Amino acid sequence: MTATIHTLKQPAKQTLRLRIELADVEPLVWREICVPDTITLSKLHSTILYGMGWEGGHIHEFEFGDLRYGRQEPGWEYERVKSETRVTLKKALAGGNQFSYIYDLGDHWEHRIQVMPADADLKLPVCIAGENACPPEDVGGAWAYMDFIAAITDPSHEDHGNMLEWCGGEFDPSDFDLGATNELLAEIKL
């Protein structure tokens, strides 16, 4: 008598294109990044950081409707954020096509993300398009960033010199380098 072994066939992973827009800033900062639907939210966090140009080091969370996921941070236990560690993007989306990612809860950088199907023959993760520079870390959020841009682009502004010194001497809000972004994304092992 021979035993029959039944295996559950794993559904093929799908490649998703994420249109990521940083809310409430001008000029609009956006990226289109392709990822597998099987990416964990913790890896997606790194992907968004590298893709947008953030340095990291701040608390973040994902919002999928009423569900919130993030790292389990000491001192933030009351926040009712579910662990992101083993949750895949596919599971968190639950058939939906949009979600939010908040980076730096103090500055509250909201990223609005639309999800669409993408070409499956890409080395993932990969950024396929984008525009404009990510704001400097710790600038103070969207409204403070707009004040920062006004100050650094107007030499007669009272804070022009202070803001340029604070950001290291220069900042170009229109700067975006697709090749450099993809070099960073290539460091993420899925």
Ordered structural domains, the chain, with CATH: 15-134+174-185 (3.10.290.30)
The residue among 52, 166, 37, 173 whose CA lies nearest residue 103 is 52
Q: What is the 3-state secondary structure (H, E, C) of 108-137?
A: CEEEEEEEEECCCCCCCCEEEEEECCCCCC
How far is the C-alpha of 103 from the C-alpha of 137, rounded, in Å? 10
The predicted model gives 85-113 an average pLDDT of 95
Q: Tell me which range, 77-91, 112-126, 157-171, is most confidently predicted by mean pLDDT.
A: 157-171
In terms of pTM, does the model score above 0.75? yes
* Virtual torsion, Cα 63, 81, 86, 50, nearest 10 deg: 60
Render pLDDT for 8-57 as a digit per residue (tens, 0 to 9).
555 567 999 999 999 999 999 999 999 999 999 999 999 999 999 999 98
How far is the C-alpha of 158 from the C-alpha of 180, rounded, in Å? 34
The SS3 call for residue 1 is coil
Give the rounded percent of residues in the chain with a pLDDT score beyond 90. Answer: 78
